[in-house]
């Protein structure tokens, strides 16, 4: 319980009246009378505050949150008082959540409920807990305010942002992947030898529908060809300290996870199987899963991946992948390359190439590109620009060395990485390398 602003003003006015009464004695009776009236009124108003049992709050959360994406939350407030209640409400948000429309101030009608809907988004993936809602309630005359915590806690999960995956699925239904920048390519020199019949999938071209089999089964059936043979894709994200750098509102690691979701969805839709193992602190392993229904398994595996302060050991990651994945696969190593990585990275990739096809996907920091565009107006600006050019030259030399050793690379900013990675995967499929 705390006095309101109105109470503090009244007490201040009464104190000023007391100061005047000390100078002019005729005001002493008025000062005592005003004090007694204020005390009695405050005591009576205090008992108009409701008991905690007469307040309730229930919260409705969406099934899941996507990182950085706003979702609507509904908070329903009820009370059993016979008069309106003037309240200030703040929901029990986790520290990683940002909300618009909170705190809310208003009046709760008597014996009715009020539904508050506000948007919130998370800045960190993983499991989160909403605590009880905080209600600051005014007394009837507004002299007192009391804080209540009502309503239970709510558990929720924040997953990587899968909006590009959903958008791709909707476009793929209408064979319009090119609207996202993803280009389908036919395998060069591939034959169209019949392999098997299978159920029709969204995105199949009509020329491959087997109408005889469709008429017999009373459901759409497509012809499958040998060029669509199943392959294994192993995603190897860097979970070390270098991926903790922020790129916009998200860390570089979160941008990598978003790209991983898109490439995983496309690969599963192509009939390939997808596995995941992290390095640089995370030692979790998801065995390759197959088919579009496996996407929830990937989401549940990836949603609480976190970066650590450990350095990224590429050789250890390569040895781990070689021990876990015996069958030939496309290894997609996702990191942010530094110029000091040349020796260790080349050894690690050389080890992986003994059995697998390796694709190194590296994030190009958008902040570096922005700095290169700034005008030079001082000596410090010139020195900074020179250091930036030296860094870019060394990085370009590292990428050139990788390509000279027949290592497939993707070097893009966080915003362009998902589409670039998807197109590179489809290029490798079309060329017959996987």
Q: Residues 110, 242: one domain?
A: no
Examine the domain organization and report whether 154 and 206 are in the same domain.
Answer: no
| Residue 43 sits in the same domain as residue 58 | no
Give the number of other Cβ atoms within 10 Å of residue 109's Cβ: 11
Q: Do residues 63 and 33 share a domain?
A: no
Q: How is residue 102 annotated by DSSP?
A: -
Q: Based on the domain organization, do 356 and 388 belong to the same domain? A: yes
Answer yes or no: are the C-beta atoms of 383 and 332 closer than 8 Å.
no
Domain range for 404 is 232-431
Quote the CA–CA distance of 359 and 82 in Å, as a whole number: 68
88 domain-assigned: yes
The model's pTM: 0.68
Of 358, 361, 363, 332, the closest CA to residue 347 belongs to 358
Q: Is residue 60 a part of any domain in this protein?
A: yes
Give the pLDDT confidence score for residue 174 in this predicted structure.
47
Residue 277 and residue 331 in one domain:
yes
- Assigned domain for 258 exists: yes
Q: Which among 175, 230, 133, 291 is positioned nearest to 434, based on CA atoms?
A: 230
* Of 262, 293, 294, residue with least CA distance to 275: 294
The answer to the question of residue 294 being in a domain is yes
pLDDT at site 38: 87
The pLDDT assigned to 236 comes to 94
Could you give the angle at which helices 252-269 and 417-431 cross, rounded to 10 degrees?
30
Q: Is residue 59 located within the same domain as residue 38? A: no
**b (16+ CB within 10 A) / e for 70-102:** ebebebbbebebeeebebebbbbbbeebeeeeb
| Digitized pLDDT (tens) for each residue of the chain, 434 residues in all | 788 888 888 889 888 888 888 888 777 888 888 889 988 988 888 888 888 888 888 999 988 888 888 889 999 988 888 888 898 989 889 988 888 888 888 888 887 888 889 999 888 888 899 999 898 888 888 888 888 888 888 899 888 877 766 666 555 544 545 555 555 555 444 444 566 788 887 767 777 888 888 888 888 888 876 544 578 999 999 998 888 888 777 788 888 888 888 889 888 888 889 999 999 877 889 999 988 888 888 888 888 888 888 888 899 999 999 999 999 999 999 998 877 777 888 899 999 999 999 999 998 876 666 666 778 878 777 877 787 777 777 778 888 888 888 889 998 888 788 888 888 888 888 777 77
The verdict on 418 and 284 lying in the same domain is: yes
Alpha helices in 293-359 (DSSP H): 295-302, 314-324, 342-353
Residue 363, φ and ψ in degrees, nearest 5: -85, 130
pLDDT of residue 233: 93
Q: Among the three residues 14, 33, 48, which one is the final residue of a domain in this structure?
A: 48
Per-residue pLDDT at 198: 82
Classify residue 186: in a domain, yes or no: no
Say whether both 287 and 372 belong to one domain. Answer: yes
Residues 289 and 395 in one domain: yes
Note whether residue 176 is domain-resident.
no
Find the CATH number of the domain harbouring 335: 3.40.50.410
Number of domains observed in the structure of the chain: 4
Q: Is 230 left (phi over 0), alpha (psi -120 to 50) or beta?
A: beta
The reported pLDDT for the residue numbered 358 is: 92
| 223 and 241 in a common domain | no
Alpha carbons 282 and 370: distance in angstroms, whole number: 32
Any alpha helices (H) in 303-416, and if so which ranges?
314-324, 342-353, 366-372, 379-404
In a domain, 148, yes or no: yes
- Give the pLDDT score at 190: 44
Is 255 inside a domain boundary? Answer: yes
- Same domain, residue pair 95 and 15: no
């Amino acid at each position: 319980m705390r006095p309101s602003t109105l109470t503090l003003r009244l007490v201040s006015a009464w104190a000023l009246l007391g100061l005047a009464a000390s100078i002019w004695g005729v005001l002493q009776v008025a000062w005592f009378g005003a004090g007694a009236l204020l005390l009695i009124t405050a005591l009576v108003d205090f008992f108009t505050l409701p008991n905690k049992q007469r307040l309730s709050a229930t919260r409705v959360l969406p099934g899941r949150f996507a990182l950085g994406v706003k979702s609507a939350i509904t908070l329903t407030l009820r009370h059993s008082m016979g008069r309106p209640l003037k309240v200030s409400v703040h929901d029990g948000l986790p520290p990683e959540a940002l909300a618009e429309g909170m705190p809310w101030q208003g009046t709760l009608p008597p014996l009715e409920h009020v539904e508050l809907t506000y948007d919130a988004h998370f800045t960190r993936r993983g499991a989160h807990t909403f605590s009880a809602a905080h209600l600051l309630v005014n007394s009837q005359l507004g002299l007192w305010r009391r804080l209540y915590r009502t309503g239970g806690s709510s558990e929720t999960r924040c997953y990587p942002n899968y909006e590009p995956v959903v958008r791709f699925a909707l476009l793929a239904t209408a064979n319009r992947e090119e609207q996202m920048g993803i280009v389908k390519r036919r395998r060069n020199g591939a034959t169209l030898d019949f392999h098997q019949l299978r159920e029709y999938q969204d995105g199949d071209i009509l020329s491959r529908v087997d109408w005889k089999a469709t008429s017999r089964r009373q459901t759409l059936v497509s012809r499958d060809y040998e060029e669509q043979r199943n392959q294994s894709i192993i995603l190897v994200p860097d979970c070390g300290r270098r991926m903790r750098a922020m790129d916009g509102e998200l860390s570089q690691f979160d941008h990598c996870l978003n790209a991983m979701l898109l490439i995983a969805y496309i690969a599963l839709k192509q009939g390939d199987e997808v596995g995941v193992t992290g390095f640089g602190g995370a030692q979790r392993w998801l065995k390759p899963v197959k088919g579009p229904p496996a996407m929830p398994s990937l989401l549940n595996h990836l949603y609480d991946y976190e970066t650590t302060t450990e350095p990224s050991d590429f050789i250890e990651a390569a040895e781990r992948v070689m021990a876990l994945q015996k069958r030939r696969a496309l290894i997609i190593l996702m990191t942010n390359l530094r110029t000091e990585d040349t020796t260790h990275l080349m050894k690690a990739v050389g080890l992986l190439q003994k059995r697998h096809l390796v694709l190194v996907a590296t994030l190009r920091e958008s902040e570096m590109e922005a700095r290169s565009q700034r005008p030079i107006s001082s000596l410090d600006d010139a020195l900074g620009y020179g250091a930036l050019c030296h860094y870019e030259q060394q990085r370009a030399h590292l990428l050139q060395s990788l390509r000279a050793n027949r290592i497939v690379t993707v070097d893009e900013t966080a915003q362009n990485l998902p589409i670039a990675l998807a197109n590179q995967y489809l290029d490798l499929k079309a060329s017959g390398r996987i």
